[in-house]
Amino acid sequence: MSRFRATLVLLTFAGVTLPLMPVQQLFIWFWPRMARRFPMHYHRLVLRILGVRVRRDGETLQQGPAIFAANHVSWLDIVILSSLAPVSFIARHDINTWPLFGALARLQRTVFVDRARRHTSRASRDEMRERLAAGDMLVLFAEGTSGDGTRVLPFKSTFFSAVENSNVAVQPLSVVYTGHRALPMPRHLRPLYAWYGDMEMPPHLWAAMAQGPIEVNIVCHAPLSTADHGDRKTLAKKAEEAVRRGLVDTLHGRAKMS
């Protein structure tokens, strides 16, 4: 039964996604405003196909310029966060070369960064500033990697420099995988959805599709800015503390869901 479910989900996903990719490209060329919003509606449909129910505690910003600073658990985070607001993502440069997923990232106007090279990091920071100046909303997975979903890794402050000495809002978001088939998600099932370490994408994708449906909580914290909280390092620390608090409270049943 699980194999049948995975096959059906993946075929449905492909049947919806492939025809819509050229539509989004046309929006990018001829209707930039729709190019920002169309992925949000597409990802809401994808969540229904995948069987992911999102519960939101609080409200996300809906207009830019803004950065969402979130913990990173899974490739599913992209679908989930994109369903909440018209966002683009900040991602590792190598994702640009991935089959299919690289194309999808480009269609969502992703900012690709190479943290290993200083001159490209400066170029990425400048691109982020240009996008924010244009009113965009960007998602930053501030840990710089993905985790197992039970803890928050230290936030890296490097790309908070794009909003240093500005009034651009930085809203921390806690991404918490909480439920599996309407029951609390047990620890042994988290690796089926949390994608981290040296896990390979195809088998992980297949296993996740075979197991659902799941529930995910997004805890929306009060927006921050360097204008109110000092330099980028302080801003990164404040965002990290908020995201960690939201994760811990939700996992222990202390967060109020809306």
* Six token digits for residue 250: 């939700």
Number of domains in the chain: 1
- Is 257 inside any structural domain? no
Tell me whether residue 239 is in a domain.
yes
The residue type at 26: L
The Cα–Cα gap between 150 and 249 comes to 11
Interatomic CA distance for residues 84 and 210, integer angstroms: 25
Whether residue 197 lies inside any domain: the answer is yes
As a whole number of Å, the CA-based R_g of the chain is 18
CA distance 95 to 197: 16
Q: Using the 8-state DSSP alphabet, how is residue 223 labeled?
A: P
d(CA 173, CA 54): 13
Nearest to 237 by CA among 167, 169, 154: 154
pLDDT tens string, the chain, 258 residues long: the values are 588 888 899 999 999 999 999 999 999 999 999 999 999 999 999 999 999 999 999 999 998 899 999 999 988 999 999 999 999 999 988 889 988 899 999 999 999 987 665 554 678 888 899 999 999 999 999 998 887 778 899 999 888 888 887 889 999 999 999 988 878 887 777 777 777 666 677 777 777 777 778 899 999 999 998 777 778 899 999 999 999 999 999 988 755 543
Contact 220, 60 (CB under 8 A): yes
Which run of H or of E encompasses 56?
Answer: strand 52-57
| Domain encompassing residue 215 | 2-251
Residue 82 counted as domain residue? yes
* Cα distances (angstroms) measured from residue 3 to each of 7, 11, 148, 206, 208: 6, 12, 24, 9, 11
- Indicate whether 32 belongs to any domain: yes
- Does any domain span residue 258? no
> What's the DSSP call for residue 250?
H
Question: What is the model's pLDDT at position 199?
Answer: 67
70: closest CA among 239, 253, 255?
Answer: 239
Residue 256 in domain: no
